[in-house]
Structure 1
Amino acid sequence: MQSDLQDAAGNVPYRPQRTIEEVSAWLADPVDAADFPQTVLRFRNDRAAAQVGLADLTDEQWLAHFGGFEPLEGSLPRPLALRYHGHQFRTYNPEIGDGRGFLFAQLRSRNGRLMDLGTKGSGTTLWSRSGDGRLTLKGAMREILATEMLEALGAYTSRTFSVVETGEALERGDEPSPTRSAVMTRLSHGHIRIGSFQRLLALEESEHMEALVAYCLKNFPGPPPPGDAPGRSEPAVQLLHLVVERMADLAASYMVAGFVHGVLNTDNMNISGESFDYGPWRWLPRWEPGFTAAYFDHQGLYAFGRQPEAMHWNCGQLAVALRLVADAPPLIAALERFGPLYAENVARRWCWRLGVQSRGPEAEAALVAASEKELREGGWQPDAFFFAHRGGRGAEGELAAAFENYEPAGADHPYWNGDAPESMLIEEVEAIWSAIDREDDWGPLNAKVEALRQMGEAHGPAPMPAGHVSYPAAPAS
């Protein structure tokens, strides 16, 4: 592979990195990928690849790197399985880490951000415990759909970069077996988790904690804390402010998208604020705060309406870990910003999805409240609600009053004149899988991805809070 690969516009070089090696000696373990019986390319995200200089790979090269995991030139010579602990449904578990995935490569994106190519289903590691290290093809397909839908709805998400079918028959207790296998590669802005810091606290490794804080501030930078924030010059305090800001916006993006992640454990929280690792996710069939995605979430801990609370709690666990190198009061002050930031981000994103320009906090709050009332009382599926009321159209009663004097800002895309919005309800997900499973028909999946990208174009770039860097505009698909 040449190191001067260009995107379709000819202006994005391939820029490999090995930055993780600054901390990998105590944060990760070298591993090898599984040797799969076959590698059949099922999905390659050329839109994402164009932003990191890899779109010109031939299919043969693609399979060599993302099926056989031959190292990318100039990047990591060997994959790394990251070490971390974590609270799983509020129970602390020190026996976890990358058990069926690894960090495969690092590189720079079009806008200079450090990006990771990480895997799922790439084989066993030191942290696999009793697992087989594999991923079902259905699980990979579901992650394609989740990431494409979230990206279209403005959420800050990892992207499914590659899916390769691997020719193994897997036994699973929660779906018909044997089932087809795959290895997936995702493109993410880092893979450092809150659980990574929790592990260092448990081991009382203060020097490594300080080094990891410095690594994150350097590679996932953002604005400084507010001018009146206590301890704002301390690195650990700066990092917590950034994570609180990012998690508050991520929680808001889930709520406005009507999305339920399902497993918001601390080991699933990326300190860059980027959502990833989609297992039992769902989109709401109707506006129901108690709706859960995971069949094993018997207490509704991660129900739709409790997701902001869960992310705030996870930020609290990061603060607990950072107490190893910082005093409590400035960390508590950072945590206290979560609620107001969350409300601001909900309002900003709500206006964006409705296609109206903001008129200030009071008017925004009234619009969100009137919309939620209409969603509940009208039994709306959220995607249908936002589609029907784009720019204030079709609003009646209290909702119409809340829209008064708002200026429509973006209802001229052909998508908004269609018969119905794109959505991602479980029935459609199962139908897309059925076509693949029964007839090896990938047409419905490919068509859905294209339709979601058109929906994303219709919405336009989501409003990001200060310090957040959204993905640059992608070439037309």
Structure 2
Amino acid sequence: MALSNRPATDRHSLFQANVLALRFTQLPNALWHPQEAERVGLDPQLIHLNHAALPAVGLMAAADRTALTRLLAGHEASAQTDAPRSFATVYAGHQFGHFVPQLGDGRAITIAEGVGRDGPFELQLKGAGRTPFSRFGDGRAVLRSVIREYLASEHMAALGVPTTRALSIVASHEGVQRETLEPGAVMARFAPTHVRFGHFEYFHHRGETAHVKALADWVIGEFDTDLADSADPYGQFFDRVVERTAHLCAKWQAVGFAHGVLNTDNMSILGLTIDYGPYGFLDRYDPNFICNHSDHQGRYAFGRQPEIVFWNLRALAVALSSLVPVERLVQGLERFGPQFDEGWRAAYGPKFGMETAQPEDGPLLVDFLTGLRTLGADYPTSFQALTRWIEGEGELPPFDGAGEWGERWRERGLDPAQAAKVAERANPAITLRNWVAETAIRAVERDQDLVFFDRLFNALTAPFEELPEVLAPLAGPPPPELAGLAVSCSS
């Protein structure tokens, strides 16, 4: 019997008691729209489940697998007793620098909200069908893009980068038309909230300033509660968004992550990495690396991310101008540079064995990166080599002046044994390069090898541990046949 024809399951067999509660849907109806999933496909198959994440969304670890699959496929409502059971939200955004007045959750539906083990959560299904904001889209997701987002979300979390999280992959066994007909899937993801810069832009540019205020009050009340009694709550809120976003961007640079589509609708108000589309991790260290082959002008090149993030924060400042005087918003924006520099040192220092990098360490760190760029060196393996060198077991990457650089590092006066421990915890043994993601996609789509996929998932979510021998080849640069993989917004 198809799963969609099974009777509904009482929520207490899936969710822990007293977990589900209204949060975002307490806001005015203009900010969200009731939306049930379309029950995509006839016989969904649970491809992978992130067991460790279940408590974060209040799901029972021992829940009935069939009922859980139904829920995570969109074939069963969450049975959240308070209406609505599920919803989609509307937002706007600057896409490649051009304002689009209405976007929204075109293929994402929130099926539950509440407070789990780690605090507030929204549980979304991505690819479970159309919403009023799908525009010309079909509301579906293809398996390859789901695999990419699923692995990237959990890999980034393991690297210490703030991100939305991934809970499951369900194959729909339904074809989805993109450039060709591809297998479809539904991914469950969660976050404390999925509110974006674009939510504020939508209401500001429509002149609906009361909704801008309502949304700001909600975010402050949920996540910046100490600002509620402040004399300057909205100005300080903007300061925090600037700080969170600057530190996030710094971590992207350190782990070698290029987002690919840094539109304002893809920017989280909480400073989370959100919406993994044509992302890419560096192979060679190249600030001009463009991971999205649809980005013909290089607007979202790896090295431009700090500049673009700042541009997006300016767009958010405009959207908050009905709440905060312009002069105060400018003061907030001026915090970005110092906050990014601080975050950059905090993110990069440990990769060089420094618990805390000081401002005077900046030239030493930058010169190493300059050497890698000139050499055309592979980014992840160069830092693996640096770790071994700190341990006294290898050589530095052979860029011009490497010997002199090594002497400067020694003059820093770090304890080598302690520095080695710091570097080992900061330089991963495996990185989710495009060719690694493609290997995972082929394993599932072509070979149905879920054992390999699970093994790779475990390695990517424990990236600083030694790789099992069978995965060791995935630590290095791509083989020639998988080099230069092109990824587009449809990914």
Q: What TM bracket, shorter-length normalisation?
A: 0.7 to 0.9
Tell me if 1:97 matches 2:137: no
| Superimposed CA distance per residue, residues 114-149 of structure 1 (whole angstroms, 9 cap, x where no aligned partner) | 111122111011111111110001110111221122
Residues 406-445 of structure 1: matches in 2 within 5 Å? 406-407=414-415, 409=418, 411=420, 421-445=429-453
TM-score in terms of structure 2 length: 0.83
| Superimposed CA distance per residue, residues 400-440 of structure 1 (whole angstroms, 9 cap, x where no aligned partner) | 41353124547459978x9x921222222222212222222
Q: Is the 8 A contact 2:203 2:212 kept in 1?
A: yes
What secondary structure does 2:249 align onto? helix
Q: Is the 8 A contact 1:136 1:170 kept in 2?
A: yes
Q: Which residue is 1:220 aligned to?
A: 223
Q: Give me the whole-angstrom Cα distance separating, in 2, the residues matched to 1:379 and 1:387.
A: 16
| Offset at residue 70 of structure 1 (A) | 1.7
What secondary structure does 2:190 align onto? strand
Tell me if 1:243 matches 2:251: no
Q: Which amino acid aligns with 1:85?
A: A
Q: Give me the whole-angstrom Cα distance separating, in 1, the residues matched to 2:223 and 2:419.
A: 31
| Offset at residue 5 of structure 1 (A) | 8.0
Larger Rg: 2
Q: Give me the whole-angstrom Cα distance separating, in 2, the residues matched to 1:440 and 1:242.
A: 45
Tell me if 1:319 matches 2:326: no
Q: Give me the whole-angstrom Cα distance separating, in 1, the residues matched to 2:458 and 2:278.
A: 23
1:159 to 165, 170, 177: 165
Q: Which residue is 1:184 aligned to?
A: 187
Tell me if 1:447 matches 2:447: no
1:388 to 385, 394, 397: 385
Q: Is the 8 A contact 2:126 2:140 kept in 1?
A: yes
Q: Give me the whole-angstrom Cα distance separating, in 1, the residues matched to 2:387 and 2:110.
A: 41
Q: Give me the whole-angstrom Cα distance separating, in 1, the residues matched to 2:335 and 2:309.
A: 13
Seen in structure 2, the aligned counterparts of structure 1 residues 163 and 14 have a Cα distance that, compared at 3 Å, is: farther
Q: Which amino acid aligns with 1:42?
A: I
Tell me if 1:59 matches 2:65: yes
Q: Which amino acid aligns with 1:307?
A: Q
Q: Is the 8 A contact 2:220 2:227 kept in 1?
A: no
Residues 125-204 of structure 1: matches in 2 within 5 Å? 125-173=131-179, 177-204=180-207
Q: Which residue is 2:479 aligned to?
A: none
Q: Is the 8 A contact 1:3 1:15 kept in 2?
A: no
| Superimposed CA distance per residue, residues 320-360 of structure 1 (whole angstroms, 9 cap, x where no aligned partner) | 01112221001110001101110110111112334432252
Q: Which amino acid aligns with 1:249?
A: H
| Offset at residue 290 of structure 1 (A) | 0.8
Q: Is the 8 A contact 2:430 2:464 kept in 1?
A: no
5+ residue gaps, structure 2, are: 1-9, 397-402, 467-491
Seen in structure 2, the aligned counterparts of structure 1 residues 359 and 193 have a Cα distance that, compared at 3 Å, is: closer
Q: Give me the whole-angstrom Cα distance separating, in 2, the residues matched to 1:118 and 1:62.
A: 14
Q: Which amino acid aligns with 2:186?
A: V
Q: Which residue is 1:48 aligned to?
A: 53
| Offset at residue 82 of structure 1 (A) | 0.3
TM-score in terms of structure 1 length: 0.86
Q: Which residue is 1:465 aligned to?
A: none
Q: Is the 8 A contact 1:371 1:399 kept in 2?
A: no
Q: Which residue is 2:370 aligned to?
A: 373
Q: Give me the whole-angstrom Cα distance separating, in 1, the residues matched to 2:463 and 2:266.
A: 27
CA RMSD of aligned residues (A): 2.6
What secondary structure does 1:307 align onto? helix
Q: Give me the whole-angstrom Cα distance separating, in 2, the residues matched to 1:405 and 1:294.
A: 42
Q: Where does structure 1 differ by over 6 angstroms across 4 or more consecutive aligned residues?
A: 222-225, 413-416
Q: Give me the whole-angstrom Cα distance separating, in 1, the residues matched to 2:107 and 2:159.
A: 29
Q: Which amino acid aligns with 1:142?
A: R
How many residue pairs match? The answer is 440
Q: Which amino acid aligns with 2:369?
A: E
Q: Give me the whole-angstrom Cα distance separating, in 2, the residues matched to 1:32 and 1:16.
A: 17
Q: Which residue is 2:469 aligned to?
A: none
Q: Is the 8 A contact 1:80 1:102 kept in 2?
A: yes
Seen in structure 2, the aligned counterparts of structure 1 residues 109 and 308 have a Cα distance that, compared at 3 Å, is: farther
Q: Is the 8 A contact 1:87 1:266 kept in 2?
A: yes
281-290 or 426-435, which moves further after superposition? 426-435
| Offset at residue 367 of structure 1 (A) | 3.4
What secondary structure does 1:35 align onto? coil
| Offset at residue 25 of structure 1 (A) | 1.0
